[in-house]
Structure 1
Amino acid sequence: MSIPLSGPLAQRQGPAPGTLGATQDYTEVIGKAHQRSQRYGVVAWERPDFSTSAQCDLNDVVENNRFLFQYAAPVMETLYEQIANTHSMVLLTTAQGLVLHSLGDKDFLEKASRVALAPGVDWSEKAKGTNAIGTALSEETAVTVHGEQHYMHANHALTCSCAPIFNPHGQVVGALDVSGDHRSYHQHTLALVRMSAQMIENQMFAGSFPKAVRLHFHARPEFLGTLVEGIAVFTPEGRFLSANRSAQFQLGLPFGALQARTFSSLFDLPMSALLELFGGTSDAPRQLHLHSGVSVWCRADVKPAGPWAAPTFAERPAAAPARKAQLSSLQYLDTGDTQVAAVIHKLRKVVDRDIPVMILGETGTGKDLLAQAFHNDSARARQPFVAVNCASIPESLIEAELFGYEEGAFTGARKKGAIGKIAQAHGGTLFLDEIGDMPKHLQARLLRVLQERRISPLGAGKEVDVDVAVVCATHKNLKDLIARSDFREDLYYRLNGLVVRLPALRERTDFECVVRKLLKSLCDDGQHVGISEPVMELFRSYHWPGNVRQLHNLLRTAVVMVGREGEIAAEHLPDDFLEELHAMQAPALAPACPLPELVLPGDAGADGHSLQDVTLHAMAQMLRLHKGNVSAAAKALGVSRNTIYRKKNLLPPDLLN
C-alpha cells in the first residue's frame, strides 16, 4: 500500500520525512551528521558509554513522556511481531534521544547490551555521534544508518532505521527505531518504521481533539478509515487546528501555511454546509472538492461535545492503541467468504447494543482485526481500543496490568502508580484476547467489574467508575475448561452475549482475495509485486496451520526477496515452507500412489509431469481410495474441501474410475 509521507507539520522547506534520497544526496546527510559529531567532540574510537539514567529517574522520564509512551507501546509490539527473528530490536526514544523502551530478539539483546543500546541510555548525536536515532532527530526525517556510516566504530556492527514522531502541533516528541545486526539489513525496514511512526501520530491525533470537527478524506473511498486517510481538524466556526501527514500531502500545503487557512478556503464550502451535509444519521461518504479542484471522498464527525475549548495534553485519553491493520472496518474485512460475511452480518446487528462479543477461532485467524473493526464501526470509534493478551502477560503482573495500582502498592511499583488497562479503555472498547488463559483468581474480579462497571486499583481505597464495551477472543474450548474447573461458568455466560467463529484460512473460499489484499498492503511505495499462478496453486494446496498470520509473514519475506517488481515464484519462498509442502504431500500418497519428488512451479519432472498434473492425479487417487468422499480425501491430502471442489471439474473422467 502506498503511504503518503509528506513532511509532518514542518514549517521548513525540503524533502518529506522518509523521502530523503529522492531530492537530497543521502551521503551528504551522513556527511553533515559526521561533521556535527566532530563539533560535539565525539571520539570515533571511544568505548561505548554504559552509563544510564537511574531507574527512578528513568521512571520519571517515562512518566513525563506518558502521552507518547502509551500510544507508541502497542505499535511497538505490532512492529516487533513483523520483524521478530531477524536479529533486531525496536526502540522508543524521547525527543532528546534517550531510550524509553525496547523490545528485542534474545539473540540480539546481548550484542545490543555491548554497545549500550538499552533503556535509559542517551543516543543523541552529541552522545553517540552519527546514528539513526540521533540523526533522525537532528534532521527531523526518517533515515537509515548502516554499518560504517555510524560515527563511532563500536556501532559499525549495527544497521538502524529510525523515524521521528511528531505530535499534532508539529513538535518532535520522540523517535521510533529498529536496530539490528548489519548483516541482516533489509531495504523495507525503513518503510515499516515510517509507517509505524505514522500510526502513532495518527492515534495521538485522533485522541487530541475530542471537541473539534474532524474531517476524514481521501481520493479513493475504500481508503477512508485506514492509515492513509487524511484527517483535518477545525473548530465549529471553521478555523484550522491541525492535519495529519496524509492530509497535508493531499492538500498540498505545509503545516505552517495551513495554519492561516479555514475550512471554507480549503474545501470551497462553508462550514455550515458541512454541518448540514453530515448532520444526519447516515455516515455514508460524500464527495467534496479541495481548493485545488481535486475531488475527495469525506466522512465527518460534526457533533462537538459541548462548547469549543482548545485541548491540552492532560485532557487526552490515557491510551489509544494503534490499529494493527489497514483493513479497519467490518466492510473491508468482507472479501467474499460466506462464513466471514455471516460473522460480519451478526456483528453489525449488535454494534452499540451493549452486548458482549466472543470471537472464537484458531490462532492467527484475525480475531484481533475483527475486534478492532467492530470497535471502529461503533459509536465508540473515537475513544480508546485497548487490547490485553491474557496469555502474554505474566500471571504475577496481569492483575496490576488490568486494574492498575497506586504508588507503593507493591515492591517495584512505579512512582505515582499506574492506570490499568480497564480504566484506559473507559469510553471505548476493552479487547480481552486469549481470555481462556486468564488466571482463575482474576476471573471473579473481572466478573464483578463487568457486572458493576467499577474497578478498584491495587492499593487504592476507592472504586472508579468505568464504561467499556467488552470483546473477548480465544482459540480454546471454554466449555472444556469449565468442565475441568479452569474457567468460571458465570463469567462465561457474562461474556458470550454473541458468539461468532472465524473460519480457518484453509476453509475460506476468498483465499485468493485475502492473498492479494495482504500482498498489496506489504508492497512499498512504487513497488509492484505479483504472484505467479504456480505459487498460488501451491498456496491453495497448503493447510496453513498459522492461518492469516502465517500467510502474512510468508508474503512479507517473499516481497523482500522479489525486490521492486516482478512475481513471487518458488525461489522466493522459504526453504522450510517448500520442504513442509513436500513432506505433507508425500506421506499422504505413499500407501497407494507414491508421489514423485516435488516439482516446483514452472518446472517439469523427469517424466514431463507438471505440478498441476501431479496434483490432479493425487486428488483422483484419494477420491477413488475414499469412494468419492470429498472430506476424507481432503483430510488425507492435507488440503481444504474447497480445493478439491474447485479442481474436480478439471479431472478427466477416466482418472476417477
Structure 2
Amino acid sequence: MVENHRALASAPKTWTTPAVLPVPEQPARTELIEQWHQRCSALGLTRIERPDFEPLMRSDLALARERNQRLFTHAAPVMEMLFEQIVDTESMIVLADVTGTILHSVGDDKFLQRADKVALTPGVNWAEHSKGTNAIGTTLFEEAPTVVHGGEHFIHANNFLTCSAAPIFDPRGNMLGVLDVTGDQRSYHQHTMGLVRMSARMIENQWLSDDYGNRLRLHFHSRVEFIGTLLEGIIVVGGDGKILGANRSALDQLDMSSAALRMHSLTSLFGTTAPAVFDHFRSPLPTPMTLCLSSGRPFHVNARFNGPQRSMVMEPQITTPVLDVPAHRRDPGAGNGKRYGTLVGDTAQSADGTLFSGLHYLNTGDPQIATLVQKVQRVINRDIPLLILGETGTGKELLARAVHQDSNRAKQPFVAVNCASIPESLIEAELFGYEDGAFTGARRKGAVGRIVQANGGTLFLDEIGDMPLPLQARLLRVLQERNVTPLGSLKAIPVDIAVIGATHRKLRDMIDAGTFREDLYYRLNGLVVRLPALRDRCDLDVVARRILLAECPHATPDISPQVMSLFKAYAWPGNVRQLANVLRTAAVMAAGEGQIAEHHLSDDFLEDVQSVRHARAPAASAAIPVAPAGGDVAQPQAHLPQLPCGAAMPDAQATAVGAGPAPRQAAMEAVAPRTLGEAEVDLIRKTLADANGNISVASKRLGISRNTIYRKLRWGQKE
C-alpha cells in the first residue's frame, strides 16, 4: 500500500451536508478561462457540441488498460479510499491516462448514470481536443492541478459538472495520467481539490517506492514534524551519490524542475555524501540529520531503504570539489579523492524505514541481553504483545525498533508515542486523532492519530504507566476491537497494529493502587522482558565502542584505559542514553587526537564521578571490621573464584566465603592503616559473603555495578 494511506482514510469527511460554495470570481481567473476557451475554438470545437458516445471498442479499452496496468494498480486503492470520503455527495472519481482516455471510474450510482449522458465513462477521451475545457483535458495541457466549475466548461452540455483534477507524475517528471473528482456543480466544495492533490501524491510516492525500493531515499522537510506526512519531500540517491528522482513535494520545496534536480548529486545539493548519510543512521536511535542547500536553507532529513538488509552495498565513490558548495558544508574527505564504501548488510530500517538495526545488533556479549534477545525472537510474528520493563535510558525504544525491524511488518510504519512527554490534555487527541473543530485550538483540517499512522506496522507506547486512567479504557477498546474513532467523529477506522509497551514503573503496584487497569495490563503483557541497567551489564566497553563508531565512522577515537576505568566504576543513572551523551561530547573534544582521555570528558560528568568517589570513601572506611576485646572477626576470603558475567557463586563456594573463624592476628591487621582500595575490596568481599555469593544482590547493596565488583576483586587478588 502507498505510504500515508491512513492519512486519506482518516481525513475529515466534510461532505455529509453538501455546501453550495461557488468558485470565487476573480479577474485573473476570468481571463484564464477565456484563454482556455480560445484554445478550444482554435481546435475547431463549438460550445454546442453533442456528447461523443463513441468510446473505444472493448478490445481497445482493454489494451489501454493493459498499457497503464501499473498506474491502475497504484491508483485503484487510493480511488476507493477517496470515494469513502465523498460517498453520497453526487460525485465520482475518474482515472485517465496521459492521452486523456478514461481508464476507470467509481462513484455514486445515480451520478454515474448522469455522467453517462455526457460520455464521462471509461473508454471515452476527455482531452481538450475532444471535450474542450474540462478538468481532465486542461490538466493534461497545463500539467498542473485544475478546477473547472459549471459554466467554465467549454461545451454547454458539461455545465452541470464541477471537476477538480491533478496530474500524476513519475519520479523523473514524466506525466502518467490524471486523477479527477467530478460532481454536481451545486455541491462544489473548496476542499475537494486538496483531497485530489493529496491522493495524486500518494500514487506518485508509491510509484517512486516501487521504482527505487533498493535505493537510498531521503525524506525531508523544513519542519521536522512534517517528515512522514504527504508534505515531505523525497529524493532518491544512487550508489554514486547522484540524484535519480524525486516526488513533487521535493521539487516544490527545492524550487527545481525534475531535470534540474537530476543534474545534482548529494554533495552539490546538500554538501554531504551517501556513505555519510548511512553512517549517521546506523547509530542507535538516530535523530534526523540537518542538511543545508548552498543558499544556507536548512532541511530536516530522514533516510530510508526498503530493500533486503544485505542487498545494498554502497558503490565506492570519488567525490570531487563542487564550486557552489561552501567549504564548511563539505563532508570530511570530500574532494580529496578518497574512496568511501558503506556496507549496509548489518543495518536495517526502523518502523518508518529509517536505517536501523535488528536484534542481532543488540547482542553485544552480555548474557542477560543474549537471553532477552532469544526470548523475543521466539515471539516475533506470533501476534503476542511485548512489554518491555527497565529504567529510563536502557534502550527500550531501541529494542522495540529492533523487534519491528525483524518482524514481517518491517516495511510498514513504526510509530513511537511517549505517554509521559505529551500533556495529559492532548494525549487523547495525539493517539486517536480528531476531526475539524473537535476542540478549541484544534487544527482546521483535523489530525490523524498516532494509532492510525501505525496501521499495518507497530505502535510503541513508551512509558505506558504514565497514561491517564480514563485513556487506558479507550486504548483497551482499540486493542480489543481494532478500530479507532477520532475525537469529534462517529466513524470508526479499522487498524491492524502490533503493540509494544514499555515502562520504568512497577505496573503491578499501580494495579494495586488503582492507577493502572488490570485488564489493560494483561492485554499488553504477552511477553514481559526486563532490560538490565547499564551498571548491571558486562558489555560496557562494547556498547561504548559501537556508540563511537556511529558518531565518528571515519575517524573513531579509542577510549583510554583510565577513562574506561572511570566508566566501569560509575553507576550510570542515565544508562545507555547518558553514556551516548558523554561519548558524543568527548568525541568532539578529542577530534584529531585519536584517543579519549579524562580531560576530554565534560566537567559535570567528572564532578559527578568525583562526588560518587567521595560518597563511597567514608562508607568503605566505616565498614572496616574492628574486633571487639577478646573477640574474633571474620576473615575475608583471600582468593574469590572468578565468575562469568552475570553469574552467581555456587552455594558450596558461597558458604565457604567468610565461613571459618579468623585468627586474632587478622583482626589486628584489619585495623592497621590501609589504602582506600584495600578497604573497598574487604567491604565488597564481606557484602558478597552476606549475599551468599550472589553478585547481583551484592551490587545492589553496595550501589555499584557488577563490573566494578569483578574488577575490584581482581585488583585485590593482584595485591
What interval of TM-score do these two structures reach, taking the shorter chain for normalisation? 0.5 to 0.7
Give, in angstroms, the shift of residue 389 of structure 1.
0.5
**One-letter code aligned to 2:291:** A
Matched, 1:619 2:680: yes
Inter-partner Cα distance in structure 1 for 2:461 and 2:584: 27
Inter-partner Cα distance in structure 1 for 2:471 and 2:444: 24
**One-letter code aligned to 2:710:** Y
Inter-partner Cα distance in structure 1 for 2:406 and 2:701: 41
Matched, 1:570 2:602: no
Matched, 1:382 2:411: yes
Inter-partner Cα distance in structure 2 for 1:509 and 1:75: 41
Inter-partner Cα distance in structure 2 for 1:536 and 1:586: 19
**One-letter code aligned to 2:595:** E
Please say if residues 621 and 676 of structure 2, whose CA atoms lie closer than 8 Å, have aligned partners that are also in contact: no
Identity %: 49
Match for residue 563 of structure 2 among 535, 545, 548: 535
Give runs of aligned pairs for residues 455-534 of structure 1, distance below 5 A: 455-523=484-552, 525-534=553-562
Matched, 1:142 2:207: no
Q: Which has the higher contact order (CA 8 A, sep 6+)?
A: 1
Where does residue 478 of structure 2 map in the other structure? 449
**One-letter code aligned to 1:593:** S
Inter-partner Cα distance in structure 1 for 2:709 and 2:483: 53
Where does residue 645 of structure 1 map in the other structure? 710
**One-letter code aligned to 1:163:** L
Please say if residues 390 and 433 of structure 1, whose CA atoms lie closer than 8 Å, have aligned partners that are also in contact: yes
Give, in angstroms, the shift of residue 509 of structure 1.
1.5
Give runs of aligned pairs for residues 571-586 of structure 1, distance below 5 A: 571-586=599-614
Inter-partner Cα distance in structure 1 for 2:436 and 2:585: 45
Please say if residues 584 and 638 of structure 1, whose CA atoms lie closer than 8 Å, have aligned partners that are also in contact: no
Give, in angstroms, the shift of residue 618 of structure 1.
4.4
RMSD value over aligned CA atoms?
A: 4.7
Match for residue 291 of structure 2 among 152, 156, 163: 163
Give, in angstroms, the shift of residue 71 of structure 1.
6.2
Please say if residues 568 and 707 of structure 2, whose CA atoms lie closer than 8 Å, have aligned partners that are also in contact: no
Per-residue CA deviation, residues 417-439 of structure 1 (Å, 9 max, x unaligned), is 22111011111000000000111
Please say if residues 351 and 458 of structure 2, whose CA atoms lie closer than 8 Å, have aligned partners that are also in contact: no
Please say if residues 320 and 383 of structure 1, whose CA atoms lie closer than 8 Å, have aligned partners that are also in contact: yes
Where does residue 182 of structure 1 map in the other structure? none
Where does residue 223 of structure 1 map in the other structure? none
Where does residue 372 of structure 1 map in the other structure? 401
Give, in angstroms, the shift of residue 646 of structure 1.
3.6
Inter-partner Cα distance in structure 2 for 1:538 and 1:627: 22
Inter-partner Cα distance in structure 2 for 1:141 and 1:340: 39
Give runs of aligned pairs for residues 303-322 of structure 1, distance below 5 A: 321=352
Mark the CA change 1:593 to 1:456 in structure 2 (over 3 Å): closer, same or farther.
Answer: same
Give runs of aligned pairs for residues 577-596 of structure 1, distance below 5 A: 577-591=605-619, 593=621
Please say if residues 346 and 357 of structure 2, whose CA atoms lie closer than 8 Å, have aligned partners that are also in contact: no
**Runs of 4+ displaced beyond 6 Å:** 63-68, 122-125, 251-254, 294-301
Mark the CA change 1:423 to 1:404 in structure 2 (over 3 Å): closer, same or farther.
Answer: same
Give, in angstroms, the shift of residue 64 of structure 1.
7.4
Please say if residues 461 and 500 of structure 2, whose CA atoms lie closer than 8 Å, have aligned partners that are also in contact: yes
Inter-partner Cα distance in structure 1 for 2:318 and 2:544: 34
Per-residue CA deviation, residues 280-323 of structure 1 (Å, 9 max, x unaligned), is xxxxxxxxxxxxxx99887999xxxxxxxxxxxxxxxxx96464
Where does residue 432 of structure 2 map in the other structure? 403
Match for residue 422 of structure 1 among 435, 441, 451: 451
SS of the equivalent of 2:417 reads: strand
SS of the equivalent of 1:649 reads: helix
Inter-partner Cα distance in structure 2 for 1:354 and 1:516: 35
Per-residue CA deviation, residues 494-522 of structure 1 (Å, 9 max, x unaligned), is 11110000000000011211111112111
Inter-partner Cα distance in structure 2 for 1:435 and 1:300: 28
Please say if residues 353 and 412 of structure 2, whose CA atoms lie closer than 8 Å, have aligned partners that are also in contact: no
Q: TM-score normalized by structure 2?
A: 0.48
Give, in angstroms, the shift of residue 460 of structure 1.
1.4
Give, in angstroms, the shift of residue 592 of structure 1.
5.5
Please say if residues 351 and 412 of structure 2, whose CA atoms lie closer than 8 Å, have aligned partners that are also in contact: yes
**Number of residue pairs the alignment of both structures matches:** 394
Please say if residues 557 and 593 of structure 2, whose CA atoms lie closer than 8 Å, have aligned partners that are also in contact: yes
Where does residue 153 of structure 2 map in the other structure? none
Where does residue 553 of structure 1 map in the other structure? 581
Please say if residues 364 and 548 of structure 1, whose CA atoms lie closer than 8 Å, have aligned partners that are also in contact: yes
Match for residue 460 of structure 2 among 431, 440, 461: 431
Give runs of aligned pairs for residues 327-346 of structure 1, distance below 5 A: 328-346=357-375
For structure 2, the residue ranges without an aligned partner over 5 or more in a row are 1-190, 206-217, 234-251, 256-264, 273-288, 321-340, 624-673
SS of the equivalent of 1:410 reads: coil
SS of the equivalent of 2:387 reads: strand
**One-letter code aligned to 1:391:** A
Inter-partner Cα distance in structure 2 for 1:584 and 1:640: 13
Larger radius of gyration: 2
Inter-partner Cα distance in structure 2 for 1:393 and 1:487: 18
**One-letter code aligned to 1:371:** A
Per-residue CA deviation, residues 314-358 of structure 1 (Å, 9 max, x unaligned), is xxxxx96464xx761001101111111111111111000111100
Give, in angstroms, the shift of residue 635 of structure 1.
4.9
Give, in angstroms, the shift of residue 572 of structure 1.
0.5
